[in-house]
Amino acid sequence: MMTGPKQDRGRAVGEPRVDDTSVDDNRAEDPTAEDREAMVAEIIAEVAATAGFLGKDRLDPRVLEALRKVPRHAFVPAWERPFAYENRPLPIGEGQTISQPYIVAIMTDLARIGAGDRVLEVGTGCGYQAAVLAELAAEVDSIERFPALAAAAAERLASLGYRNLRVRAGDGTRGWPEEAEDRAPRPYDAILVTAAAQGAVPEALIRQLAPGGRLVIPVERHPRDPAAQGFDLRVLWFGPEQDLLVLTKDAEGRVAEEKILPVAFVPLIAEAGAEET
């Protein structure tokens, strides 16, 4: 598949641009337009079906528009492109995946990102979630554990015209402290983590969240002891038990936690021997 016309990614979704043509004209030029619409329609249907978990039956229209804009096929290997707009995860290398579009949609919606917000993503992967965030926020910082994935994502995002985000390789459990803790007036308004924390949310991420901010993170309920011998048959058969959580920090720094729904993510892994920042 070919990508559609290059767009200015520095704008918030819905912000007018002087050279915008009609939506119909743009879609006529984009051979993936129907696939993108079908993907969004499937997300809308799945959100309605899981409204009992989500507490709502529809997402912010800005989130859906961002999903329409971002060319998912540009973020997957060539051999996976025929499946790029299917509502499922796909492998991207290093044992990692590009998340299911439904999961990307609900995590983005749960973060309640405003046009002027600073957002931190932990787990860049191929850069797809970062691109969706960059359609909505003023600034996005994204951290990836694997240097090869981080470098490829940074190059890919730059080639697509995104100018309001930065990618670096590092330990995501530490967040990006020099950008949040050392600049007290501007910690992150939202943090999204695309890997499952083992039993507890990293304290560094909570510290880097602004008052009123939201931290969206999957957490494994019963993490396996890495020193344990043998196989955990429960995990081997059914996979680890994980919940998607939303943590909200109030003006006094108190944190409230809300459980959303069961999910399945790769584990969030700290650097060996690293101490929390």
Q: What is the pLDDT of residues 13-55, one digit of tens each?
A: 333 333 333 334 444 578 899 999 999 999 999 999 999 999 9
Are 263 and 103 spatial neighbours (Cβ–Cβ below 8 Å)?
yes
For the domain bounded by 89-263, which CATH number is listed?
A: 3.40.50.150
Q: Is 159 one of the annotated active-site residues of the chain?
A: no
Q: Provide the whole-model pTM.
A: 0.81
Q: What is the pLDDT of residues 186-195, one digit of tens each?
A: 689 999 999 9
Are 156 and 125 spatial neighbours (Cβ–Cβ below 8 Å)?
no
Q: What is the pLDDT of residues 223-244, one digit of tens each?
A: 655 554 444 444 444 456 899 9
Locus of tokens 């050279």: 19
Catalytic residue, from 22, 99, 142, 159: name it. Answer: 99
Q: What is the pLDDT of residue 204?
A: 93
